[in-house]
Structure 1
């Protein structure tokens, strides 16, 4: 589709006045968005509809953007007119500055080249080969939970650590422990810095020696140095990416970094050391945080709904008995998968996604001008009562195959969509289902905290605890 095709068609009557909250006279909706952007978007949709206009900031520094909530509008932005909606939002530029130009942030020819090089490493066959790393880490966590103080754990840090250890093990192999410690220490510093800079109207230069700049630079330098050192080691011991066996004497032969180091073709060449580091950082940071969110909230929702937990556990016991789950079990655990999808509906790991319109277009009968910042919010679309009956209720049966087939493709989009859909979505589902099966077979969970407060950062962030009480199920499945 050419950019000119995104303009309203001749004779159309697109409305130029887009409704939305007026906010305060001087600051618009700035304070509401800072206090709770997700609730602000939700209220705006309820009051004004599926295409809204928001203003934030004082006169002269005011930002104006549009939010689109209908499945049809989301599809237009992410898929059918994706070329007209680019990742030129200030937040993405801050991510580029901190983590490099990897798959999450690259565009145009850079993105296409990277995607072609990386795609073969995320085929179903490749991803299924990571199942043992997932179950090993989940089983280790289940054993550690036996010594939990008072038999209680907070799922937020626990799932963050599990997902981080798993993705680091898959990426780095034997170097995972060192990587986990560095990322656990540095990632929160960088994430907070990126979000803060992404939404302020005036930014101090990054090279100024302010305390925030210095902390973020130190954290970034530490992660870069770690990745560069490990990459240099792998470069010396890489093997072709299409070799399914490799050298059995190579302890790193099957880790993802080795495969990335060897990836290449005649058209695109290979990834240089800087490109490798940028891909690795994106996989580490974006990959583990999104999966950790899905794991934590699925377990917490099941802990709050003991009948659903019992249904899920009965399926796990019936399918697995006393054996370790494998990739083949993904299709054999449909109700667990439905519970996971329902959790991702209520708590999508990427609750708000930003784009910038290149050319003027029409969405939902409204005129969107060229250069406009536009957001889609799965947090809101996933809660639309016109799409989801009693939307705040946890009900895994919503994702039975026949009910999924009745819904619009973009009524549920936790992995995005269109040409920029998440390359790791099969890996995320595999990791989540296998880890959940391992933990739920070992424990019954009882919720201590009934509600968990959240906020939108680069990914969805829990701002309060999600504690559960553990009841070991010794001999489960025997």
Structure 2
């Protein structure tokens, strides 16, 4: 089969599927798979500016793009370019020698042993959140707002230690502006120069400048004070920024101040929005499913019966909560789609993908693939028992991506999510107020409405 014969939605005569992608990207992906199969070509944009997007929905295809032929599928597409422009060329966006150098320096800071040392910061922020909720019994909260701020405070505390307060408010206000700017430019067939003084450009530039200034200020003060991480886990100077500043390669190479800022911004982006999404929907789903919530509460309360804060060692003792989280990430993956650009022509699922093609794999769709998931819209944490996981294709579930560019922070995300859920479900009964939540596609999964729950102290 040749590329020109690949099935796909016809779209509108002049702009193809552009409006569908802008209005409801996730629904467009699902409809394309339902109507046209595992490899679909979507055209978007007017003549002369029209883009072609090759969507790959099968686990086998996702594995090929992300893992077995990863070298042929690069982060050269429009979205990654826009992220680089706004957030810098950190580990998420870097390629080739830049990526390998960054990975060598950063990887030791994300080993399981090192990440487990962040459990104290997770416990501090979770305890503060639980205390705030308990002070207003019977209140209704918007989980989207609450979990976003909680996850941001947690990753900022791990990054900046005692400087956490200085960074949080700036990041909280600047990130949504830049995320929307990147999203809009990513879906636009015409991207005007960023230097043009348009209102949206000026607003995004101001947000970018504020982020850079707060990060650069903390980094410069650390350098002036001679504070850097010693990596011994004893507290004080071993927050993640200090460890990054102290990291050395085999030949003594290190990250300069600009590279430090770029890594910090990428960690703030990837380390709080993704976890916030998972926590929001885990509590939302449990608020709609009281039987599963009761099982999760029983596990958490049994382990943390004395009211203590959880430790990293407790993670392995919370298997049902881990299954809840994995099922949540199946239904609501924080990265609903992952883009690449093909270097050379190749064949995926029997379909020829041409050189230079923009290729998209979509966890949001693959996680609902009827050949791999029975009754895929149903919430069922027991899909993730060890036996059922072992019997499933490796890429039927890939919320953290896969292959050599898999998310470096996946253990941190799982640890933070499971430990914080254990405390919140031990202390509160959660009842969903909003049952249907409108979603969108940005850099990460976007909420287009509130996710309210009522809280009852246990």
Give the TM-score normalised by the residue count of structure 1: 0.93
The aligned residue for residue 381 of structure 2 is 396
Residues of 1 paired with 2:191 and 2:425: CA distance?
A: 46
Report the counterpart of residue 375 of structure 1 in structure 2. Answer: 360
Structure 1 residues 232 and 143: CA distance shift in structure 2, 3 A = same
Q: Deviations over 1:387-411 (max 9, x none)?
A: 1000000000000000000000000
Residue pairs, 1:51-450, within 5 angstroms: 51-148=39-136, 151-237=139-225, 243-244=231-232, 251=236, 253-267=237-251, 269-322=253-306, 323-450=308-435
Matching residue of 2:445: 460
Q: Which residue of 1 aligns with 2:8?
A: 20
**Superposition deviation, residue 178 in structure 1:** 1.6
User: 1:38-85, CA deviations, whole angstroms, 9 ceiling, x for partnerless residues?
Assistant: 011101101110000001111111111100000010000000000000
Q: Partners of 1:155 and 1:86 in 2: how far apart?
A: 35
Distance 1:238 1:127, change over 3 A: farther
Task: Give the drift of 1:281.
Answer: 0.3
Q: CA RMSD in A?
A: 1.4
* 1:317 to partner: Cα distance: 1.5
Contact persistence 2:230–2:238 (CA under 8 A): no
Between 155-164 and 57-66, the greater mean CA deviation after superposition: 57-66
How many corresponding residue pairs? Answer: 457
* Structure 2 SS opposite 1:296: helix
Structure 2 gap segments, 5+ residues each: none
- CA distance change for structure 1 residues 454 and 262 in 2, over 3 Å: closer, same or farther? same
Who is 2:21 aligned against?
33
Post-superposition offset of 1:243: 3.9
Deviation at 1:111, TM superposition (A): 0.3
Distance 1:149 1:63, change over 3 A: farther
Q: Could you give the per-residue CA deviations for residues 257-276 of structure 1, whole angstroms, max 9, x where no partner exists?
A: 00000001233600000000
SS in 2 for 1:64: strand
Whether the 8 Å CA contact 2:144–2:277 is kept in 1: the answer is: yes
Larger CA deviation: 55-64 vs 358-367: 55-64
User: What SS is found at the alignment partner of 2:83?
Assistant: helix
Does the residue aligned with 1:269 lie in a helix, a strand or coil? coil
Answer yes or no: is the 8 Å Cα contact 2:229–2:239 preserved in 1. no
Q: Is the 8 A contact 1:134 1:431 kept in 2?
A: yes
Q: Secondary structure at the match of 1:276?
A: helix
Is the contact between residue 117 and residue 268 of structure 1 (CA under 8 Å) also seen in structure 2?
no
Deviation of 1:242 after TM superposition, in Å, equals 6.1
Partner of 1:265: helix, strand, or coil? coil
Distance across 2 between alignment mates of 1:279 and 1:243: 18
Runs (5+) with no aligned partner, structure 1: 1-12, 474-478
Contact 1:33 1:40 in 2 (8 A): yes
Q: What is the SS of the residue equivalent to 2:5?
A: coil
Using the alignment, how far apart are the partners of 2:375 and 2:422 within structure 1?
28
Shift of 1:152: 0.7
1:3 paired residue number = none
Counterparts of 2:325 and 2:43, CA distance in 1: 35
In 1, distance between residues paired with 2:180 and 2:252?
35
Structure-2-length-normalised TM-score: 0.97
SS at structure 2 position matched to 1:407: coil
Residues 15 and 365, structure 1, Cα contact 8 Å, conserved in 2: no
